Amino acid sequence: MAWPRDDAKLERVRALMGERGLDALVVRAPDNVVYLTNFWGMKGYDACVFPREGESVLVSLEASEEDAARAAWTDDIRLFHGYDPADARPPTARVLELAREAAAEYERVGLELSLGTQASDRMVGEPTTFTRAWFDAFPEAEDATPLLAEARALKTGQEVERMRLANEIAAAAMEHCKLVIEPGMSEAQIAAEWEGFVHGEGTGWEGKVELALGFSLVWSGPGIKTFTATTSRPVVEGEPTLFEIWVCADGYWCDHTKNLVCGELTPRYRELEERLTAVYDDAIAFSQPGASLAELDHLIRAGIDAMGFPGQPSHPIAHGVGARAHEPPYAHQAGGGEIAEGMVLAIEPGCYIEGGGGLRLEDNFLITAGGAEKLSPFPDGIVAAG
């Protein structure tokens, strides 16, 4: 999707490059390519050379020429062939060659040397990762990952607008599932309803989304166990069906956990919902500019401990969202940092019952001068189906 060039974002990156004395960044992770060029590649082969001064270079697969010309914020697009009868090498070799040529004039170059995760390309099924040749080609490169993490932690107005679209699509898909979920359906069947709505209705959403993709984990009743797969277990009446869900809309993401119940919620789960909501609300109220990220982690985990779930949850309880579903900053007691205006945080306390069952609450929150603004229009807590 063509968006106006986000100069506020790009100038922040350039200012950080100036502080570190970097002349150019050379990036290949699809989320960093989206972040710097607005182009979301099809196969993840693409690269960007982003200078502190001057025009960026996008290196793109020749088959994506039309997409790149429409979406990219640079006119300097250098194309390579997926197959070249005059060059028997794989396409990744041609990408690297073009990236090295584009970066040759710069003395101090930053590379993604410590990238922990990367978002998927539009094809999704086989994210393209880095080979040793990519790193060997820039032997004097400095690590640009901390710089990019710092820049990406604060969202511009355009980024927030794009994330609101992802949030709206995710919420609309939950409204759809609220109407069609029934006891006895399998977890996989209701997950497919959610994912199908995201892709089918989210693509083209409000004329602003070229491609929407949904990713889900759905568990019901005793099937609720973090870090397990969706299965053919049935939707359980009277107990929550938990949707751990992400939407990617043209390279910008949301990350939610929402809950539906068919029929009357059991007293045990009603009590669990009330107590976990209190922990969640305290965390949201705490999330003000200047608050400690480490203390946010401690606050949530202490609240869950007091509920009778010591050592839980096993997943992060707060993290950034943007051009990835999980990105810095992370709330972690061994880490540092403060919450700042302009961050978008996923806040997600959860507690899990031994043997199966449990509850998680999660939404995305824009940190403003006045506190945390919830981005999803879908309610938190356990929502009655129908």
* pLDDT for position 351: 98
How far is residue 254's CA from residue 146's CA, in Å, rounded to a whole number? 22
Asked if residue 220 belongs to a domain, the reply is yes
Please tell me whether residues 149 and 179 are part of one structural domain: no
Task: Look up the CATH number of the domain holding residue 237.
Answer: 3.90.230.10
Strands (E), 263-375: 318-320, 327-330, 344-347, 350-352, 358-360, 363-368, 371-374
Please tell me whether residues 196 and 242 are part of one structural domain: yes
Q: Domain end: 153, 178, 193, which one?
A: 153
Domain interval for residue 208: 157-384
Please tell me whether residues 119 and 188 are part of one structural domain: no
Pairing of strands 142-143, 109-111: parallel
Please tell me whether residues 148 and 180 are part of one structural domain: no
Asked if residue 2 belongs to a domain, the reply is no
Half-sphere exposure of 280 (CA within 13 A, CB side): 23
Asked if residue 147 belongs to a domain, the reply is yes
Per-residue pLDDT of the chain (386 residues; tens, 9 = 90+): 789 999 999 999 999 999 999 999 999 999 999 999 999 999 999 999 999 999 999 999 999 999 999 999 999 999 999 999 999 999 999 999 999 999 999 999 999 999 989 999 999 888 889 999 999 999 999 999 999 999 999 999 999 999 999 999 999 999 999 999 999 999 999 999 999 999 999 999 999 999 999 999 999 999 999 999 999 999 999 999 999 999 999 999 999 999 999 999 999 999 999 999 999 999 999 999 999 999 999 999 999 999 999 999 999 999 999 999 999 999 999 999 999 999 999 999 999 999 999 999 999 999 999 999 999 999 999 999 99
Q: What DSSP assignment string belongs to 228-284? A: ----SPBPPBTSEEEEEEEEEETTEEEEEEEEEEBSSPPHHHHHHHHHHHHHHHHHH
The gap from C-alpha 211 to its chain's centroid, in whole angstroms, comes to 15
28-56 burial, b for 16+ CB within 10 Å, e for fewer? bbbbbbbbbbbbbbbbbbbbbbbbbeeeb
Please tell me whether residues 119 and 200 are part of one structural domain: no
Please tell me whether residues 241 and 368 are part of one structural domain: yes
Please tell me whether residues 147 and 176 are part of one structural domain: no
How far is residue 164's CA from residue 155's CA, in Å, rounded to a whole number? 12
Tokens of 109: 């170059």
Asked if residue 245 belongs to a domain, the reply is yes
Q: How many CB atoms lie within 10 A of CB 24?
A: 26
Asked if residue 362 belongs to a domain, the reply is yes
Number of structural domains, the chain?
A: 2
Q: Domain end: 153, 188, 206, which one?
A: 153
Task: Look up the CATH number of the domain holding residue 64.
Answer: 3.40.350.10
Please tell me whether residues 124 and 173 are part of one structural domain: no
* pLDDT for position 2: 87
123-148 burial, b for 16+ CB within 10 Å, e for fewer? eeeeebeeeeebeebbeebbebbebb
Please tell me whether residues 220 and 281 are part of one structural domain: yes
Tokens of 178: 């609220």
How far is residue 214's CA from residue 272's CA, in Å, rounded to a whole number? 28
Asked if residue 319 belongs to a domain, the reply is yes
Asked if residue 78 belongs to a domain, the reply is yes
Q: Are 363 and 376 in contact (CB under 8 A)?
A: yes
Please tell me whether residues 93 and 129 are part of one structural domain: yes
* pLDDT for position 127: 87
Q: How many CB atoms lie within 10 A of CB 211?
A: 15
Q: Residue 365: which of 147, 155, 206 has the closest Cα?
A: 155
Backbone angles phi, psi at 83, to 5 degrees: -130, 135
Please tell me whether residues 149 and 176 are part of one structural domain: no
Asked if residue 15 belongs to a domain, the reply is yes
Please tell me whether residues 92 and 190 are part of one structural domain: no
Radius of gyration of the chain (CA): 22
Q: Residue 314: which of 187, 385, 210, 228 has the closest Cα?
A: 228
How far is residue 329's CA from residue 292's CA, in Å, rounded to a whole number? 11
Give the SS3 label for residue 79.
Answer: strand
Q: Domain end: 93, 124, 153, which one?
A: 153
